[in-house]
Structure 1
Amino acid sequence: MRIVRLANFVTVHTGGLRTALRQLGRGYQAAGHEAVLVIPGRRFSDKMTKQGRVITLPSAPLPRTGGYRVLAGRRELVKLLDSLEPDRIEVSDRTTLRWTGNWARQRGVRSMMVSHESLAGLLGVWGMPKRDALADRFNRRTAEAFDTIVCTTSFAAAEFRRLDVPNLVEVPLGVDLKLFHPSKMDVAVRSRYARPDELLMVYCSRLSAAKRPELAVDTVASLRNGKVPAVLVMAGDGTRRTALAYRAARLPVRFAGHISDRSAVAALLASADVALSPGPVETFGLAALEAMACGTPVVVNEQSALPEVVGGGGIAAAGTAEAFSDAVSRLMERPRVERRGAAREQAEQYGWPKAVAGFLQAHEAVPEPATAPALIRPAVPSRPYLPSPRRTAPAREAGADEAGAARYA
């Protein structure tokens, strides 16, 4: 079965979405299906990777979004989809790509929309009036356009459930329990950021308004005001970095930037005492789950979906610096072995094989043995897709798109 996946807003900074796309693609391939991912980027490319075929279509960056791009050329995308002849489509953008649900229905192709965010929550972050009514209207149209709506937590599903959407399913995402492991703890990494007598906290996410990174900075200030020798590493980048640097000017906060090496991310998370996830509209929180898999407990915003994910592996707190600093202190009062063991145990409930099986079930795609290649269609479609003439030149340039396919290999 050929599963074509479409995703927008994919950049080097979108760690959670990028990880989910990569792991699901690998899982589909391992189950005997053919996975094709279509994303926007700087230039055209078409690569075979471990997660299947990755096609990057040239797209201009959206202003003031930190480098986000979208698949804006509808005619070009229709041409590509028609040439791919998918059996299923899986869409990870509920705004600009909603029209693809109707495309699929017209061609008898089953479609699935994956809701990676709370629309009402995002509208609230942006200060939109009447956000619930606006979200309800938009979500109802989305549910009508697709055969299946997938949400990764009850929190994310709530805005669809209140509309009595009949085609809603919940499928949790997963975590790489081998890569993110307590054994990744590195004394050298820890000493790079903190002295032995200091409390090392880590924030690992995009530096954007929706993630509320300023709350992590303010938590350090609150702890230090209480005479707790806390330091913070902020691993990530985004539009809020300059403002955060000013905010943290007199605090022990280190900006590590985006860390592309996943092993290095695991080492940092495993070497920290506590991870912070302050975003109020997180619908799953892969970074928090990865921290727990490393044995590092997390403090999360009680307004988000994370309380149902972290369980006993952390503490949910109100979205204030005082509440977060109090939660950090309470975590550190627990014996080290107990708090780290509880974090790892909670993470072990989530694995990518289980998540992949859930997504395939939502697709109504029965896993097929990976040893039966005859069941897999050739990677080259029967009706080859060729980019329009004005876009062929970039395709001949050396290398894959740095903001696209190469990062999924």
Structure 2
Amino acid sequence: MSGPARVVRVANFVNGRSGGLRTALRHLGTGYRAAGHDPVLVVPGRHDADERYPWGRVVTLAGPELPRSGGYRLLTDRRRLARVLTRLAPDRLEVSDRSTLRWTGAWARAHGVPSMMVSHESLTGLLGEWRVPDPLRRRIADRLNRETVRSYDRVVCTTGWAAEEFGRVDAAVEVVPLGVDLDTFRPERADPALRERYADSTEVLLVHCARMSVEKRPELAVDALAVLRRAGVPAVLVMVGDGPLRAALVRRAADLPVTFTGFLPDRTAVAALLAAADVVLAPGPVETFGLAGLEALACGTPVVVNAASALPEVVGRAGVAAYGSADSLAEAVLRLLGRPEADRRRAARARAEEFGWPAAVAGFLRAHRLDPVPSTATAPVPVADGLAGTTR
């Protein structure tokens, strides 16, 4: 397609406080607009809305909250969503949910719309976190992945690690890495006064920045701190974020120097804290990309990652991979601290600079078979269906 295209993107598991997926959707939308296309994002929310942002139009459809999810809502009314998609008349459909929204692939095929599913999670890994036995979880994941491949024209994974489970079913997928905001997240954000708020000059400042939910394994960060303290390392920990496990984590850390900041909406404040840290911990075992870890690298701070995830592929030699135990994470922290500080910070930033958002946007457009086009004004498409229209 040579002209401007309306790229309608549909996602579940996104809310005002969600992390990597929300960040990716915004940066990709901004990039699509800059390339002359018309991105429209359809997401669930508390109330209906139809709004415009720098990253494109956002249509919010009221949906029920998923219990014990910390605020995630779902697009569950298929008929209504199908009507909205029909009115939006997409030239391309991009779906960021490989389970509850898989039916949209059939809708796209019936309407002659090229479709693409973006795999933001490992089904095999998630089933493992839910305690499904290994042989069974592989069979379940393989069956669902075959259905996904049959449903969409293309499947995009953000790392080779994420693509591996599709290889088990002989499915061809495209690997397109995401990016990082290299302007917001940079070493110059480091603020000595901010660091002093959490650690004195003799202490090692560790930061964990992620949603506090089961799949992120945040308890490993707390337990790794305990291991370090018992070994005589004067480490302290700042936990950034919120989620259903926060209360349990506060209890777990009762006798440790742990600060819980809650959700920080100001991205520059997050960047300042990441840049001030000595080491960032990313212990989640099922991360398929790990934007928070990449943001830490962009701030010049090395990362300890879970060897079972995709993050070793992303951080490269700018981090250390550890298997999922507190002892292993603590040992990895000591390995990083054993490197000269200037070297480890320089390596972290250099690795992040390999993942700019312009390259990610270009990769996603190639996956959509779209070229950049001269910018043209696009008239809003009325959605109706009871939506209230506002402009931002």
TM-score relative to the length of structure 2: 0.97
1:208 alignment partner in structure 2? 213
Partner secondary structure for residue 387 of structure 1: coil
1:68 alignment partner in structure 2? 72
1:81 alignment partner in structure 2? 85
2:155 alignment partner in structure 1? 149
Report the residue type matching 2:155 in the other structure.
I
Given the alignment of the two structures, is residue 377 of structure 1 paired with residue 383 of structure 2, yes or no?
Answer: no
Distance 1:91 1:189 in 2: 39
Which whole-Å deviations, capped at 9, do the CAs of 1:31-70 have from their partners, x for residues lacking one? 0000000000011111111001011111111112111111
Given the alignment of the two structures, is residue 3 of structure 1 paired with residue 7 of structure 2, yes or no?
Answer: yes
Partner secondary structure for residue 90 of structure 1: strand
1:305 alignment partner in structure 2? 310
Distance 1:369 1:224 in 2: 58
Distance 1:205 1:59 in 2: 24
What is the aligned-residue identity percentage? 59
Q: Is the 8 A contact 1:13 1:238 kept in 2?
A: no
Given the alignment of the two structures, is residue 365 of structure 1 paired with residue 363 of structure 2, yes or no?
Answer: no
Distance 1:335 1:64 in 2: 43
Shift of 1:79: 0.9
Distance 2:330 2:255 in 1: 18
Q: Is the 8 A contact 1:199 1:230 kept in 2?
A: yes
Q: Is the 8 A contact 1:150 1:171 kept in 2?
A: yes
Partner secondary structure for residue 281 of structure 1: coil
Distance 2:144 2:100 in 1: 12
Pick from 280, 295, 320 the counterpart of residue 290 of structure 1.
295
Shift of 1:12: 3.0
State the number of aligned residues.
386
Partner secondary structure for residue 281 of structure 2: strand
Pick from 359, 382, 385 the counterpart of residue 387 of structure 1.
385
Shift of 1:107: 0.8
Alignment of 1:10-409 (within 5 A): 10-129=14-133, 130-166=136-172, 168-370=173-375, 373=376, 377-378=378-379, 380-381=380-381, 384-388=382-386, 395=388
Q: Is the 8 A contact 1:281 1:305 kept in 2?
A: yes
Shift of 1:386: 1.2
**Greater relative contact order (Cα 8 A, min sep 6): structure 1 or 2?**
1
Structure 2: stretches of 5+ with no match in the other structure? none
Distance 2:124 2:64 in 1: 27
Which whole-Å deviations, capped at 9, do the CAs of 1:338-386 have from their partners, x for residues lacking one? 010010011111000000000000000111133xx1xx532x22xx321
Distance 1:321 1:364 in 2: 45
Shift of 1:200: 0.2
Which whole-Å deviations, capped at 9, do the CAs of 1:378-398 have from their partners, x for residues lacking one? 2x22xx32124xxx6xx48xx
Which whole-Å deviations, capped at 9, do the CAs of 1:257-310 have from their partners, x for residues lacking one? 011100001001000000000000000000000000000000000000000100
Report the residue type matching 1:8 in the other structure.
N
Report the residue type matching 1:90 in the other structure.
E
1:406 alignment partner in structure 2? none
Distance 1:75 1:194 in 2: 54
TM-score relative to the length of structure 1: 0.93
After superposing on structure 2, the runs of 4+ consecutive aligned residues of structure 1 that deviate more than 6 Å are none
Report the residue type matching 2:146 in the other structure.
R
Distance 1:151 1:268 in 2: 30
Which whole-Å deviations, capped at 9, do the CAs of 1:126-176 have from their partners, x for residues lacking one? 11231000000001000100000000001100010111113x100000001
Distance 1:152 1:102 in 2: 23
Distance 1:94 1:107 in 2: 20
Shift of 1:124: 0.5
Report the residue type matching 1:325 in the other structure.
A
Range with greater deviation from structure 2 (322-331 or 141-150): 322-331
Partner secondary structure for residue 48 of structure 1: strand
- RMSD, aligned CA: 1.2
Shift of 1:318: 1.2
Report the residue type matching 1:79 in the other structure.
R
Distance 1:12 1:218 in 2: 29
Distance 1:261 1:138 in 2: 37
